[in-house]
Amino acid sequence: MEQYVQDYLNQLNVAPQLQGLALISALYKAHIATFPFNSANVILKANLSLEPEALFDRVVTNRRGGYCFEHNKVFYLALKALGFTVRPIITRVLLDGNEQNGRLHRVTLLEFQGKQYIVDVGFGVLNPRFIVPLKTTTIDAPNGRYSLEQTGEQAYRLALAPNNDQPITLYRFDLSEFTEMDCNIGHFYSSQHENAAFVNNLVVSRIMDNERILIRNNQVTFFDDAHNQQEVFTITSAKQLHSLLTEQCLVGLTFAQTQTLFEFINRER
């Protein structure tokens, strides 16, 4: 495990003199820019083991990406190896407005110098570019204003007000005890259930300092957050999709795998 974590840190190329929250913040920004969020592995029916060695091989070594149960576990294991106090939390995603959605999004609760923070590198294109203090707060970002609201003794809601748009609640959560088995159950549903979003949709994203890219089925959106602009294009060929996946999103896929994905996004729905 020590070598896997070291390889991960080497790929992120973060200044070695950083410590504490500065180190975590630098690793965080580097992670979401380097390792793509994507559901391609689900569609390709890859083996999605969450055992640490298999997970690091898939996400870090082979650049195959993944979603929250993969990205946030990698980050959690790295923080734990670096000596930080962390534990998993599972949230309810509320993008569709349904307050009763199941707990299907893994994040990390960090405790550092008497304070707590939410660390989330696995929420896709709406992912914050920073760790979030666990208190009622608002934080301005290139793509809008994030706000965390405490709604109960141990209950919270994270929302985003995109630039020039209405606020949306990303997810809600509490500080209940969660185990890796709880995460495994959510991961199994997200990758196997016939109604799960990632089973039915190709979703790929990458987040840089002032730019984001999102592939959702046969459309790609380029976000220029510095100028509050975006461009949307239709993906018309496997060659175009492969270029977007490998060159723009840094996903490690073969052209044959991309052809399978292209057929999937153009199937009759």
Question: Which pLDDT does position 15 carry in this prediction?
Answer: 84
Domain membership of residue 36 as a residue range: 2-265
Question: Which pLDDT does position 269 carry in this prediction?
Answer: 63
Phi and psi (nearest 5°) for 96?
-90, 5
Q: Give the model confidence (pLDDT) of 38-52 as tens digits.
A: 999 999 999 999 999
Q: Give the model confidence (pLDDT) of 161-187 as tens digits.
A: 998 788 999 999 999 999 999 999 999
Question: Which pLDDT does position 209 carry in this prediction?
Answer: 95
Mean pLDDT of the region 98-113: 97
Distance, in Å, from the CA atom of 194 to the CA atom of 184, rounded to the nearest integer, reads 17
- Whether 197 has a pLDDT exceeding 70, the answer reads yes
Mean pLDDT of the region 94-122: 97
Q: Among residues 22, 179, 21, which one has the least CA distance to residue 115?
A: 21
- Whether 87 has a pLDDT exceeding 70, the answer reads yes
Q: Structurally, how many domains does the chain consist of?
A: 1
Please tell me the pTM assigned to this model: 0.96
Q: Give the model confidence (pLDDT) of 225-252 as tens digits.
A: 999 999 999 999 999 999 999 999 999 9
Buried b (16+ CB within 10 A) or exposed e, 217-238: beebeebebeeeeeeeeebeeb
Mean pLDDT for the chain overall:
96
- Whether 2 has a pLDDT exceeding 90, the answer reads no
Q: What is the CATH number of the domain that holds 203?
A: 3.30.2140.20
